[in-house]
Structure 1
Amino acid sequence: MSVSTPMLVTFVVYILGMVLIGFIAWRSTKSFDDYILGGRSLGSVVTALSAGASDMSGWLLMGLPGAIFLSGISESWIAIGLIIGAWLNWRIVAGRLRVQTEHHDNALTLPDFFSSRFEDNSKLLRVISAVVILIFFTIYCASGVVAGARLFESTFGMDYQTALWAGAAATILYTLVGGFLAVSWTDTVQASLMIFALILTPIIVIVAVGGLDDSLAVIRAKSLENLDMLKGLNFVAVISLLGWGLGYFGQPHILARFMAADSHHTIRSARRIGMIWMILCLGGAVAVGFFGIAYFENHPDQAAGVSQNGERIFIELARILFNPWIAGILLSAILAAVMSTLSCQLLVCSSALTEDLYKGFLRKNASQKELVWVGRLMVLVIALIAIALAANPENRVLGLVSYAWAGFGAAFGPVVLFGVCWKRMTRNGALAGMVIGALTVLLWKDYGYAELYEIIPGFAFASIAIVVFSLLGRGPSEAAQQRFAAAEAQYQSK
């Protein structure tokens, strides 16, 4: 039996399990509401783990450990920023958004919510927000396809084009068939696999080096800078890394999990579960990269893979330190991270096309069955476009992915935050905030202070625009204020 055979078997079993969940979810999908939001039926555990898994892509097991391995503990500022941002999102937005969407025409998507919440009869908000989602998420999906392809390519020696389809096929299938329930249920399995891998791996690495004290001594002997939280960073750099947390308020795939919870009461326990999961996973990812420094310092003869690419640190440690069957399970965690994020992004794109454009403009009276099938077709269309973009992994379009987190955070984040907390906000305020936030992100790199992450000025300028334009014009109608007040009263109820 070759080394790759146990890994191959593990991967195949894992993928078949995800597809099986998709077909089970098919049986529970009766309406478009079911397909897009699972009929708002998610309990606290599924809500928490699905939100976490849809957030953390292959970056969690490759990008972050790789950055720590190459530069030391100073790269963990971004993890701290993400934890703070995620907690604030759960605490301020999650429960309110769940209730507000129900009170505003049972909105199924963010564009749907914006249109109803701000009484936008022109449908301009719906169109602009749907287009922003489609542009940024199609690029995001392409990056996910590339990450999956690279995993299959390096693990099984496939050529890139074969790996491209192998990595994407299962995700497309279970998302297309089972919709939101399949994505949420598989996310729960994938989140469990990710936390197992990220807790077990650093423990085994520390044991292999000789214990915690010996590991720290080796890292300290190599370079004291590896232990310096401020290595090479000034105040602006630290603020920029922490600023990543602002992105949570505007990520459609994460916000959709809040909207799908069975009630706002579920959110409280989901927040605790979700934050514990996130802290353990991010802490584990940092530990993999950090203690990986010690392992490969002691075993330079095994460091060829990480010398070529630091982001392979988790893959190399799994292969070296574990039985091939266990290594296969651990490497499946990378696939889980990629699949969980890609699947929810495909579904959000599908919902934007189906609910906000197809139903909103072409077939207002379309039946539920028709909408479900159109939604499935849109998943396939977006997936094929993403695969086409990913066909050339060197394509510059994939470099725009860094804009996407900031783009969503600045364009949607302030609109969502003010929209669920401030009843005086208006359509013009929302429109100004969305446009100014997005434009600031797109223009900041070329014309702004490049060292400051563009989400920070984007979020700030969008927030100012929302307040100014809302106060300049006529306030919301009495009916809109009553709906907002009723939703807030429900949220505050015990």
Structure 2
Amino acid sequence: MSITLISALIALVVYLLALLWLGAQSLGGQTGSADSYFLADRRLRAGVLFFTLIATNFSAFFFLGFAGAGYRIGIAYYPMMALGTGLAALSFGSLGCRVRSLSAKHGLITPSELIGHLLPAEGLRLLVLSVMVLFTLPYLALQPLGAGYLLESLTGGAVPFGVGAALLTVVIVIYVVGGGMRAVARTDVLQGVLMFLLMLMAFVAVANGVGGIEKANLTLLQQLPDLFSGAGLGGFFTPRVMASYLLLWPLCLPMFPQMLMRFFAAGDDRSLKQSMVLYPVVAGVLFICPVLIGMWGHLAFPDLVGRASDQVMPLMLGRYSPEWLTGIVMVGALAAFMSTLDSQLLALSSMLTRDLYKRYWRPQASLAEQVRVGRLAVIALAVAGLVIALRPPEAILSLATHAFSGLAVLFPMLVGAVYGLRWTVAGAMVSVLGGEAVLLGLALGGIPESFQMGYLPLIPALVVACIVLGVDQLVAYWRRA
């Protein structure tokens, strides 16, 4: 048995036991109410709130995808992601405080309840619920899928894919069912710290292995100067693609239900604002690490093609870091998977419980009954995600790749409503449906690619959504006049 495997198994066991212990510690603070289970009594303060926001958002793409993009594109990927994340923090700060205030004042727990309060209409509530579930559930299924493959690779096949995916899912279900948002937030602190420290350790180890940052970059500059260009290898970042990415993150990230519910759970505006200040600073420091590791991958593995480049992080660790460190760092990637999955499970379970079960099936359901149903929903969603992960249909994978754009279409309608714009129900619904129809048409080929005019598909979808809302306001103004 190799040192890498031994260190990985020890780190994995310690990590999973720590998650279960933190989950057990969260049992005592619950009051039995829906607020307590789904939102931790709306008392998350700055430190915990920051970690739960960042751990929820940083999936394993931070470990594996960023390095792969650094390999395929170059240093240009870093400012796009760092600046986009900074803009997302501004979006969180401005939107989050208003959402927190509204949700606390009116006892709102889910995004659908928020939009139902702002624009009372059953059809619109159900539309928002459907869009969020449609694009979040496939993304949820990708987490056990990726975690299972990573664990299988990490242990050299000693833990098969299916067993690994099931094991990690069971651990998450235990602490989410038991402790709700309080357990998720506490485990997010551990997982966030692990992600940060292990990424920094990986960076230092690989940087030393390639002879230092300056030497590696100078060598690459001579061999592949386009890695350091503003457009990246192959001219990936055209000005229009850059603009698309800079709009994508601040518009899509707040629309994930698990992110919106962090705003609901914040203890006060000050905690939210402090978290938003830390968010881009930490992201700006950390994002450069996997991107540079990916770029340096050309020095050791010059022939990686396409998605094979997403394996450049474990390949570089295997080549340049001590054997014991490779396994431990990959546990950090598992933490990224799990911190995203637990938040998605809790968010979707709250929506199924409050927006479907309580609203349409059992309006008289007590707070304790809602918590019981929420726990059952966590289990059901986890099983569904695991089943999908074991045999993922092509349609599910396609939906997951469009999740960010699909959710971003909600942004103009929802944010306008939060800031006091009174869309008509018809205008709000047509805005969302029109934007989603554009995304669907572009994905299926029904709308020619030229319609994008060089932008990502999100941009024409947003243009259509905003035009509909603009016309809606003009018509309403003319009617009032």
The residue aligned with 1:489 is: none
The question of whether the paired residues in 1 share the 8 Å contact of 2:90 and 2:276 is answered with no
8 Å contact 2:181–2:346 — kept in the other structure?
yes
Aligned to 1:482: none
Q: Deviations over 1:351-379 (max 9, x none)?
A: 11001000111111211111111001111
Q: 1:55 to 1:444 in 2, by over 3 A?
A: same
For residue 237 of structure 1, the aligned residue among 241, 249, 260 is 241
- Partner SS, residue 73 of structure 1: coil
How far is 1:396 from its partner? 4.3
Greater CA deviation, 130-139 or 465-474? 465-474
Runs of 4+ in 1 over 4 A off after TM superposition: none
Q: Which residue of 1 aligns with 2:194?
A: 193
Aligned ranges for residues 452-467 of structure 1 at < 5 Å? 452-467=455-470
1:232-253 Cα offsets, whole Å, 9 max, x none, are: 2333332333332231242221
Q: Secondary structure at the match of 1:28?
A: coil
Q: Kindly indicate whether the alpha-carbon contact (under 8 Å) linking 2:92 and 2:254 is maintained by their aligned counterparts in 1.
A: no
CA shift at 1:145, angstroms? 1.3
* Structure 1 residue 378 corresponds to structure 2 residue 377: yes
What is the 5 A alignment of 1:357-376?
357-376=356-375
Indicate the larger mover: 226-235 or 369-378. 226-235
| Residue 288 (structure 1) shift | 2.3
Name the stretch that deviates more: 454-463 or 466-475: 466-475
Residues 206 and 317, structure 2, Cα contact 8 Å, conserved in 1? no
What does residue range 151-230 of structure 1 map to in structure 2 within 5 Å? 151-156=150-155, 157=157, 158-230=159-231
User: CA separation of 1:466/1:276 partners in 2, compared to 1, >3 Å: closer, same or farther?
Assistant: same
Q: 1:278 is matched with which residue?
A: 283
Give the superposition deviation at 1:172.
2.4
Matched, 1:2 2:2: yes
CA contact (8 A) 1:101 1:259 kept: yes
Distance, in Å, in 1 between the alignment partners of 2:9 and 2:405 is 37
Change (3 A) 1:314 1:322: same
**Residue of 78, 81, 102 corresponding to 1:79:** 81
1:380 deviation in Å?
1.1
Please state if 1:438 is matched with 2:436.
yes
Pick closer, same or farther for the CA change 1:226–1:27 going to 2, 3 Å.
same
Look up the equivalent residue of 1:2 and give its one-letter code: S
Q: 1:249, 1:394 → 2: CA distance?
A: 27
Residue 248 (1) aligns with residue 253 (2): yes
SS in 2 for 1:27: coil
**Aligned AA (1:26):** L
The number of aligned residues is 465
- Match for residue 49 of structure 1 among 48, 51, 59: 51
Question: Which residue does 2:66 correspond to in 1?
Answer: 64
- 1:293 and 2:298 matched: yes
| Distance in 2, Cα, partners of 1:237 & 1:152 | 34
- Distance in 1 of aligned mates of 2:230 and 2:307: 25
Query: Could you tell me how far 1:77 is from its partner in structure 2?
Result: 5.5
CA deviation profile, 1:411-457 (whole Å, cap 9, x unmatched): x2112321222344444443233322322222233214355322222
Whether the 8 Å CA contact 1:194–1:281 is kept in 2: the answer is: no
- TM-aligned CA distance change 1:406 to 1:331, over 3 Å: same
Q: Does 1:403 align with 2:406?
A: no
Deviates further, 180-189 or 436-445: 436-445
Q: 1:101 aligns with which of 100, 103, 128?
A: 103
> What is the match of residue 141 of structure 1?
140
Distance 2:345 2:133 in 1: 10
Q: Distance in 2 between matches of 1:139 and 1:50?
A: 21
Match of 2:363, SS?
coil
Amino acid at match of 1:164: A
- 1:318/1:26 CA distance change after superposition, 3 Å: farther
Moved more, 215-224 or 355-364: 215-224
Using the TM superposition, name which of 382-391 and 274-283 deviates more.
Answer: 274-283
Pair 1:267–1:81, CA change in 2 (3 A): same
Residues 415-426 of structure 1 aligned to structure 2 (within 5 Å): 415-426=413-424
Look up the match of 2:472: 469
CA positional deviation for 1:53: 1.2
Q: CA deviation at 1:78?
A: 4.2
For residue 479 of structure 1, what is the aligned residue in structure 2? none
Amino acid at match of 2:208: V
CA separation of 1:457 and 1:290: change in aligned 2, threshold 3 A: same
Q: Partner letter of residue 475 of structure 2?
A: L
What's the counterpart of residue 90 of structure 2?
88
Alignment map for 1:261-340 (pairs within 5 Å): 261-294=266-299, 296=300, 309-340=308-339
Structure 2 CA distance for partners of 1:182 and 1:324, relative to 1, 3 Å? farther
Alpha-carbon shift at residue 307 of structure 1 (Å): 9.9
Give the CA RMSD over aligned residues: 2.4
Contact 1:87 1:271 in 2 (8 A): yes
- Output the CA distance in 2 between the equivalents of 1:130 and 1:213: 50
Q: TM-score, normalised by structure 2?
A: 0.90
Partners of 1:133 and 1:352 within 8 A in 2:
no
Q: Is the 8 A contact 2:63 2:313 kept in 1?
A: yes
Q: Unmatched 5+ residue regions in structure 1?
A: 476-494
Shift of 1:177: 2.0
- CA drift of 1:393 comes to 4.8
Q: Which residue is equivalent to 2:14?
A: 13
What fraction of aligned residue pairs are identical, expressed as a percent?
A: 25
In the alignment, is the contact (CA less than 8 A) between 1:139 and 1:401 conserved in 2? yes
Q: Which residue type is aligned with residue 133 of structure 2?
A: L
- 1:307 and 1:131, CA in 2 relative to 1: closer, same or farther beyond 3 A? closer
1:272-302: CA deviations, max 9, x gaps? 12222222232222222123334x26xx8xx
Distance, in Å, in 1 between the alignment partners of 2:2 and 2:53 is: 37
- Letter of the 2:243 counterpart: I
Cα 1:163–1:241 shift into 2, 3 Å:
same
Partners of 1:399 and 1:424 lie apart in 2 by 34
Name which of structure 1's ranges 177-186 and 315-324 shifts more when overlaid on structure 2: 315-324
Q: Structure 2 CA distance, aligned partners of 1:162 and 1:395?
A: 22
Whole-angstrom distance in 1 between the partners of 2:20 and 2:471: 49
